[in-house]
Amino acid sequence: MNQRYLMALDQGTTSSRAILFTFEGSVISSCAIEFPQHYPRPGWVEHDPADILHTQIEAMRACVRKAQIDPKEIAGIGITNQRETTLIWDRDTGLPLHPAIVWQCRRTADRVDRLINDGCGDMIRRRTGLFPDAYFSGTKLAWLLDHLSLRSKAKNGEICFGTVDSFLCWNLVEGHPHVTDATNASRTMLYDIEKQDWDDDLLKMLDIPRQMLPQVVDSVHRVGYLHQDILGERIPVSSIAGDQHAALFGQACFDEGMVKNTYGTGCFMLMNIGSHFRLSSSKLLTTTAWRIDGKTTYAFEGSVFMGGAAVQWLRDEMKMISRADETEGLAFSVHDTGGVYLVPAFAGLGAPYWDMYARGTLVGVTRGTGKAHIARAVLESIAYQSADLFNVMKNDCSAMTPILRVDGGASANRFLMQFQADILNTVVQRPAVSETTALGAALMCGLALGIYPSIKATARGWHSADTYDPGMTDKERNKCLKGWKRAVDAALFWSSLQDKTEDIIE
């Protein structure tokens, strides 16, 4: 039977997805299954590893059923995943030893503070490209080893550490390979991204035994074969990439200076900076964009911790909407926010502020403030945070292209995309295939299998579906940005007044 499809597994923060693509990049079928988030203490976020695995397997099966194809027609599978989320499991039984600690979790902020106070910040940044933060996996893993008293087992090689890609490979691929790729490794705060190896000094600093770490492989790499009992066929699993790196690839940002922004639970803006490692002068992260045939491409990255999650907050906690897409109509129903700004620092602020203790702040509320104003402020907050990142990227790369390519669920929101173009004074392009994260994983898989002869050949199916041109006057834009800056200052001021030991509980 002719093999005509590539499958991508897109394991995210709130759902597990499986998507089938043609070799030309068209979506044939997709399935997403949500799973619960757990918040055992303020600032803590966890997942049940069984939920991650079971929903991913069921999404694969449902995707194939929906497409009504024979699994023999699937040439290969690529994996892309939420990054930094930290798991440990028993090497013999495969059983997880603790709930997964999610990238959003702030429980190790005090450990990060100690690293910074001990003068380790510069060394960490020079080796990893990262600013020390509880966001990354390293201090999460150290916390697990401390609180579960597992260092002896770790040194004996009896337990495994992995991010979500490692956990999926271990459980889905024959032979239980313990691997990760260079993109996910670069998000652990344990990996020297210039040398492309685990860093012994960083491991010693956090007392993490190398024996428990996965092998780091290329992003385009034949990991092994899918267990036959999952889909009834032994299908090659041939790529791994963190979700934002896969999206950069799926957006065909192959030239230096090209930029994409993914609007998901968080927003993640990445710019291709080429094959030479360098640090940002504007508090952006340097990360591995992908590694193919042993050759590394790097990227600058800025993160908005609360993008679509702010809309979920409006829906689930505030009960102001019943569906996320209602925000578009509400935002268009009012001329402006009436002076209301939301700074959704529910889990701190990332680049360019890097304040782990900042918290959500709603300012400018009057007696006339209504649901529509707040809904609009929520959407505008996503665009403002993204603009903060885009503007500092301009300072770091003279080759930056004057176009922002966008993807992710919230990129379908017409109000948000137009406001993004307006506030950036930059053209915003949304591709015809919006599933660029999954597409990137699928294209990498096809590259590994020889379906595409080169990296550039994978871009043949990319074209724009929607283009948003800026239409805001300079006066309007400056007024909006001035108000946003005041709102952020208020959130940071609130943070400075707090006893920080109250926010993070051991």
**Mean pLDDT of all residues in 207-221:** 96
Summarised one tens digit per residue, pLDDT across range 444-488 is 999 999 999 999 999 887 888 899 999 999 999 999 999 999 999
CB 252 within 8 A of CB 459: yes
Cα–Cα distance measured from residue 88 to residue 464, given in angstroms and rounded to the nearest whole number:
41
Cα–Cα distance measured from residue 98 to residue 451, given in angstroms and rounded to the nearest whole number:
40
CB 440 within 8 A of CB 6: no
The C-alpha R_g of the chain, in whole angstroms, comes to 22
Q: How confident is the model at residue 495 (pLDDT cuts 50, 70, 90)?
A: confident
Q: How confident is the model at residue 234 (pLDDT cuts 50, 70, 90)?
A: very high
The sign of the CA dihedral 90, 93, 98, 100 is positive
Summarised one tens digit per residue, pLDDT across range 130-162 is 989 898 999 999 999 999 999 999 999 999 999
From residue 321, alpha-carbon distances to 75, 315, 316, 383 in Å are 42, 5, 8, 20
At residue 172, does pLDDT exceed 50?
Answer: yes
The pLDDT value given to residue 350: 75
CB 80 within 8 A of CB 183: no
- Say whether 251 sits in a helix, a strand or coil: coil
Q: Residues for the chain: how many in total?
A: 506
Cα–Cα distance measured from residue 175 to residue 179, given in angstroms and rounded to the nearest whole number:
12
Q: Please name the amino acid found at residue 101.
A: I
- The pTM assigned to this predicted structure is 0.86
Percent of the chain that is helix, strand, coil (3-state, to 5): 40, 25, 35
Cα–Cα distance measured from residue 76 to residue 231, given in angstroms and rounded to the nearest whole number:
12
CB 277 within 8 A of CB 298: yes
At residue 1, does pLDDT exceed 60?
Answer: no
**What whole-number percentage of the chain has pLDDT above 70?**
98
Full DSSP string of 350-366:
-TTT-BTT---EEE---
Q: How many CB atoms lie within 10 A of CB 146?
A: 15
CB 184 within 8 A of CB 166: yes
Which residues have CB under 8 Å from 321's CB, separation 6+? 311, 314, 315, 327, 330, 375
Q: How confident is the model at residue 348 (pLDDT cuts 50, 70, 90)?
A: confident
CB 307 within 8 A of CB 266: yes
* The two three-digit tokens of residue 140, written as one number: 């999460």
Which residues have CB under 8 Å from 450's CB, separation 6+? none
Q: How many CB atoms lie within 10 A of CB 344?
A: 25
Sort strands 5-11 and 74-81 into parallel, antiparallel or unpaired. Answer: parallel
**Mean pLDDT of all residues in 308-334:** 91
At residue 397, does pLDDT exceed 80?
Answer: no
CB 262 within 8 A of CB 437: yes
Domain 308-387+475-503 - what CATH class?
alpha beta
Which residues have CB under 8 Å from 274's CB, separation 6+? 256, 297, 298
Cα–Cα distance measured from residue 167 to residue 94, given in angstroms and rounded to the nearest whole number:
9
Summarised one tens digit per residue, pLDDT across range 38-82 is 999 988 999 999 999 999 999 999 999 999 999 999 999 999 999
* Structure-token match 């499986």, residue found: 18
Q: How confident is the model at residue 504 (pLDDT cuts 50, 70, 90)?
A: very low
What angle is formed at CA 284 by the lines to CA 279 and CA 287, rounded to 5 degrees? Answer: 65
The pLDDT value given to residue 163: 97
Domain boundaries, the chain: 308-387+475-503
Cα–Cα distance measured from residue 166 to residue 178, given in angstroms and rounded to the nearest whole number:
6
Full DSSP string of 400-429:
--SEEEEESGGGG-HHHHHHHHHHHTSEEE
